[in-house]
Amino acid sequence: MKPAFEKLFGFDSAKNNVRTEILAGITTFLTMAYILAVNPGIFSALPGMPGGSVFTATALAALIGTLVMALYAKKPFALAPGMGLNAFFVYTVCLGMGYTWQFALTAVLIEGLLFIVLTVTKVRSWLLNAIPGTLKKAIGAGIGLFIAFIGLQNAGIIVNNDATLVGLGNITEGKALVGIIGLFITAGLVMAKVRGGMLWGILITAVIGLFIKDPATGETVTQLIRNENGAVKLISLPDSVAPIFCQFEWAQILSWDMLVVVFTFLFIDMFDTMGTIIGVHQGANLVPEGNRQDDIPGMEKMFLADSIATVCGACLGTSTTTTYVESASGVGEGGRTGLTAFSTAICFVLALFFSPIFLAIPGAATAPALIIVGVMMMPAIKRIHWDDYCKAIPAFLTIIMMPLAYSISDGILIGVISYVLCHAVAGKFKSISPTMWVLAVLFILRYIFI
């Protein structure tokens, strides 16, 4: 058995333990399984994308991506449709820019194919190095704020206010009350380092929602799914992905907006994957002695696994599939090989048959997870040089514009433009790379003509 593990997963019987790897994989699944509830909830804002189909697509994309990581890259990382990227897909491209979800899926497919080409040709390294570190850190924090803002809205904690644009909702009843209770329950579980704390927080909050009525609907916040006889459904065969499978729209692939959307998907995906891989390796002291802290063995294979998963996810009908930072939980439990990722993939297979549970979870129950994920994405800002205004101003604009403009892409575009302009007016031309000049000009033209 162990020789087979060595060949399939890079397992070394002298260093690795089968039981430890399997438990590590289960731990990773528990910490990231919230996406199975969150993703269908986010996509429910788009007509024509059934929640059951989105759930199946989410689980299958996670399954395929994690298997590729396990068998090809032989690393203990799991993949699934990414937080932030799904929000950009729904709230920016579709609801903000007014495009169809088919247009957005086409952009995800193109981004995945470009990611493959950039990885194979090593252009990825050149592009990543051209973007200033300040903006890289700011983008992660900005996405964190944007995700948290969506969670607060989904729970009705933050609502529309005609006088001030946004305001505090009625937090003493209904879904807002459920969301607040769930936030502190989930926070407590996460702070106590309970395995799968966010998933358990979502499930407990959903149960609380069974006993609290929402005055807006007159029904309980959580509504269980029942069969024709009225019995509660807990297990069922997965819904078909046919309504969203390979639903691409080719008419506008040469438009400027398609270019911007593809670039944003690609940009976020590359930095998200790179940050996860490097961060987890550094945190677990897995960088070989003598290597640079960003010189990770097998990096290209991990990036290729990520890009292949994105292409597969687009065909299935979901947003960009990316490497999850929650993989750190499994690595922290001792996972070191592809067997850890394979164990996580098996968990996603089992989850496919529990869709009624995940689909019954309301937005108020997933909101705490969104808010806490937002918190987890904030530490990068402490590495921004706030005393250097040439760096601080572009970083701040990148962060603040994402939630306020309700657009991740606008945050990135304005961040790049402001970085170039701030350094130019300060006379620091040597700090502006040719790539940044080109991007800034293109982005300015985008706002002028579109």
pLDDT higher than 80, residue 222: yes
Query: What distance in Å separates the CA atoms of residue 62 and residue 231, rounded to the nearest whole number?
Result: 30
pLDDT, position 138: 86
| Residue 394, in any domain of the structure | no
Residue 272 is which amino acid?
D
Q: Name 379's bridge partners.
A: none
Query: What distance in Å separates the CA atoms of residue 344 and residue 24, rounded to the nearest whole number?
Result: 8
In the numeric block, the tokens 């032989």 are attached to 74
Q: What sign for the dihedral angle of Cα 329, 270, 267, 308?
A: negative
Query: What distance in Å separates the CA atoms of residue 113 and residue 308, rounded to the nearest whole number?
Result: 8
CB 306 within 8 A of CB 115: yes
pLDDT, position 291: 60
CB 377 within 8 A of CB 140: yes
pLDDT per position as a tens digit, 168-202: 999 999 999 999 999 999 999 989 988 778 888 88
Question: In total, how many domains does the chain have?
Answer: 1
Q: What is the mean pLDDT of residues 401-421?
A: 87
Q: Give 1's pLDDT tier (boundaries 50, 70, 90).
A: low
pLDDT, position 148: 87
| Residue 266, in any domain of the structure | yes
pLDDT, position 327: 82
pLDDT, position 345: 96
pTM of the model: 0.77
Burial of 274: CB neighbours in 10 Å, binned 0-12, 13-18, 19+? buried
| Residue 423, in any domain of the structure | no
pLDDT per position as a tens digit, 120-175: 887 766 766 777 888 878 887 887 888 888 889 889 999 999 899 999 999 999 99
pLDDT per position as a tens digit, 39-84: 998 998 899 999 999 999 999 999 999 999 999 999 999 999 988 7
pLDDT per position as a tens digit, 316-339: 999 999 988 778 778 877 788 999
CB 446 within 8 A of CB 256: yes
The pair of three-digit structure tokens given for residue 76, joined into one six-digit string:
């203990």
How many CA atoms lie less than 13 Å away from 66 in the CB half-sphere? 31
In the numeric block, the tokens 């929000």 are attached to 87
- Return the CA Rg of the chain: 22
pLDDT per position as a tens digit, 237-266: 899 999 999 999 998 888 888 988 898 888
| Residue 374, in any domain of the structure | yes
Long-range residue pairs from 433-442, CB within 8 A, at least 24 positions apart, any chain: 433/130, 435/127, 435/130, 435/131, 436/130, 436/131, 436/132, 440/416
pLDDT, position 90: 94
CB 220 within 8 A of CB 205: no
pLDDT higher than 60, residue 293: no
Q: Give 24's pLDDT tier (boundaries 50, 70, 90).
A: confident
The pair of three-digit structure tokens given for residue 399, joined into one six-digit string:
């962060």
380: CB partners within 8 A, 6+ apart:
137, 138, 140, 141
Query: What distance in Å separates the CA atoms of residue 445 and residue 23, rounded to the nearest whole number?
Result: 52
324: CB partners within 8 A, 6+ apart:
28, 32, 77, 78, 79, 80, 82, 276
| Residue 425, in any domain of the structure | no
| Residue 401, in any domain of the structure | no
pLDDT, position 2: 59
The pair of three-digit structure tokens given for residue 18, joined into one six-digit string:
């089968």
In the numeric block, the tokens 């429910």 are attached to 44
In the numeric block, the tokens 């997965």 are attached to 238
Domain that holds residue 291: 2-382
**Helices within 296-376 (DSSP H only):** 299-316, 327-332, 338-351, 355-359, 363-376
Query: What distance in Å separates the CA atoms of residue 411 and residue 120, rounded to the nearest whole number?
Result: 29
The pair of three-digit structure tokens given for residue 199, joined into one six-digit string:
């998933």
| Residue 208, in any domain of the structure | yes
Query: What distance in Å separates the CA atoms of residue 350 and residue 153, rounded to the nearest whole number?
Result: 31
pLDDT per position as a tens digit, 92-112: 899 988 999 999 999 999 999
pLDDT, position 392: 96
CA 211, distance to chain mean position in Å, is: 31
Written as one string, the DSSP assignment of 216-246 is TTTEESS---B-TTSPBP---PPPP-TTTTT
| Residue 101, in any domain of the structure | yes
Distances (CA, A) of 151 to 84, 108, 429: 12, 23, 40
